[in-house]
Chains A and B, each alone.
Chain A
């Protein structure tokens, strides 16, 4: 039988307080620190999300420079609204919602500008969906990497032709791998609507990507 000589030899469980303490590296904590003037905390948030947000907006708009601008605008808005941020849902949901709104707003602006599109010449006469100008390339491909690159380009173009209400949930689900629940919160709609829209979007894509499937 061992005899305890000091109190330190008692095998206490780790203090409960440590479990209660919030992780100081969580998004919420970083935003809280940003609110108090900690610029490093905001820089950390930017470094966590800049690629995701830029990529998401790029998939939505198919324009890299524009996507970078809009991603920056997203962070500017987050910074401006740091005092009004509510912790009722995840920060990622919050920032993706801002990015989605900006991207959709940009797509609508483009629609209003009514730029002359080369694809318009290839619109079927029966009023169906406009077809992408994608003439078959008969040259022999060098290797499989080129094939993949070509296929990715085709997918990106096909996504670009989707209506915006189908585009956002499809990208969030199939590119970013987010859950239906989170997508519903980002798009501020019901989960059922999200599932339905994703299903429709995949149907559109299947038609457009028939040559690659």
Chain B
């Protein structure tokens, strides 16, 4: 019974503030119970010591440091403001860059168009000059099977007169039209019975003549034709002087 009373009183003493006074019943019990009285004295002293710790003051630069820290932070408001400013600037840059690109593009396109037109006009004027034969209109050449040998195709220098830049461009374009796609066609089959002279226009040069043939199945053969001789006499009288082509 006494222990129960002591527990109740001690609990009451625990919950009291230092400045509060305990109840009449607790006061009476403390007068009678030495243990509880000692407990109360030690408890009060301990709480006084703990309470004497007091408040530790913040350093004088606390506010300054806090402001600096808040400024370094990226709170929603500040960040939003900065992003708004940045977006305005970026919008301006984007518009200026787009306008500049557009102007440069237009100028470049105009230059190209005018260059082309000038070249075409020059060609037309040259052709329309009196005393010169009227130029034949450039017709698109039909796509034909290219039966001429590669030697003939390689001979691009057709005449002694030099053509102008514009004409060269036109010629180059015309040449591109005669390109033949013969990849799907079968190669010409040559028989041994036919003489080479019927097939190849052979120049009587000192160099050996080489022709590469493909049978259409990926098997390539290279035929090397040596310099033609009749007996011990060469057709070519002097090694450095070549006879005219196709003259035996």
* Chain A interface residues (CB < 8 Å from chain B): 37, 43, 46-47, 50-52, 54-55, 58-59, 64, 67-68, 71-72, 75-76, 79-80, 83, 148, 151-152, 155-156, 159, 170, 174-175, 177, 180, 195, 198-199, 202, 205-206, 209, 212-213
| Residues of chain B lying within 8 A (CB to CB) of residue A46 | 62-63, 66
Q: A46-B63, A72-B69 are in contact. Are A155 and B49 (CB under 8 A)?
A: yes
**SS class, residues of chain A in contact with chain B:** helix
C-alpha spacing A88/B42, complex, angstroms: 39
Q: A51-B57, A152-B53, A202-B14 are in contact. List 8 more A-B contacts (CB 8 A).
A: A72-B65, A72-B69, A80-B73, A155-B49, A174-B47, A175-B53, A175-B54, A195-B14
| Residues of chain B lying within 8 A (CB to CB) of residue A67 | 56
Q: Which of B36-68 contact A (CB under 8 A)?
A: 42-43, 45-47, 49-59, 62-63, 65-66
* Inter-chain contact B75/A72, CB cutoff 8 Å: no
CB distance from A80 to the nearest CB of B (A): 6
- Tally of contact residues, B, Cβ under 8 A: 30
* Chain B interface residues (CB < 8 Å from chain A): 11, 14-15, 17, 42-43, 45-47, 49-59, 62-63, 65-66, 69-70, 73, 75-77
* Inter-chain contact A76/B73, CB cutoff 8 Å: yes
Q: A47-B63, A75-B66, A195-B14 are in contact. Are A174 and B55 (CB under 8 A)?
A: no
* Inter-chain contact B56/A175, CB cutoff 8 Å: no
Which of B50, B54, B76 is in CB contact (< 8 Å) with A205?
B50
| Residues of chain A lying within 8 A (CB to CB) of residue B54 | 55, 175
* Inter-chain contact B53/A54, CB cutoff 8 Å: no
* Inter-chain contact A213/B45, CB cutoff 8 Å: yes
Which of A68, A177, A213 is in CB contact (< 8 Å) with B58?
A68
| Residues of chain A lying within 8 A (CB to CB) of residue B42 | 206, 213
Which of A50, A151, A212 is in CB contact (< 8 Å) with B62?
A50
A–B complex contacts, Cβ < 8 Å, 16 sampled: A43-B63, A46-B66, A52-B55, A55-B56, A68-B58, A72-B65, A72-B66, A76-B69, A80-B75, A152-B53, A155-B50, A170-B50, A177-B17, A177-B51, A180-B15, A202-B14
CB distance from B41 to the nearest CB of A (A): 9
| Residues of chain B lying within 8 A (CB to CB) of residue A212 | 49
Q: A72-B66, A79-B75, A202-B43 are in contact. Are A54 and B58 (CB under 8 A)?
A: yes
| Residues of chain A lying within 8 A (CB to CB) of residue B43 | 202, 206
* Inter-chain contact B53/A209, CB cutoff 8 Å: no
C-alpha spacing A156/B52, complex, angstroms: 11
| Residues of chain A lying within 8 A (CB to CB) of residue B53 | 59, 152, 155-156, 175
C-alpha spacing A202/B76, complex, angstroms: 44
C-alpha spacing A51/B62, complex, angstroms: 10
Q: A51-B58, A58-B56, A80-B73 are in contact. Are A198 and B14 (CB under 8 A)?
A: yes
* Inter-chain contact A175/B73, CB cutoff 8 Å: no
CB distance from B19 to the nearest CB of A (A): 9
| Residues of chain B lying within 8 A (CB to CB) of residue A68 | 58-59, 62
C-alpha spacing A18/B33, complex, angstroms: 55
| Residues of chain A lying within 8 A (CB to CB) of residue B69 | 72, 76
C-alpha spacing A209/B50, complex, angstroms: 11
CB distance from A159 to the nearest CB of B (A): 8
CB distance from A165 to the nearest CB of B (A): 17
CB distance from B70 to the nearest CB of A (A): 6
CB distance from B13 to the nearest CB of A (A): 10
CB distance from A103 to the nearest CB of B (A): 14
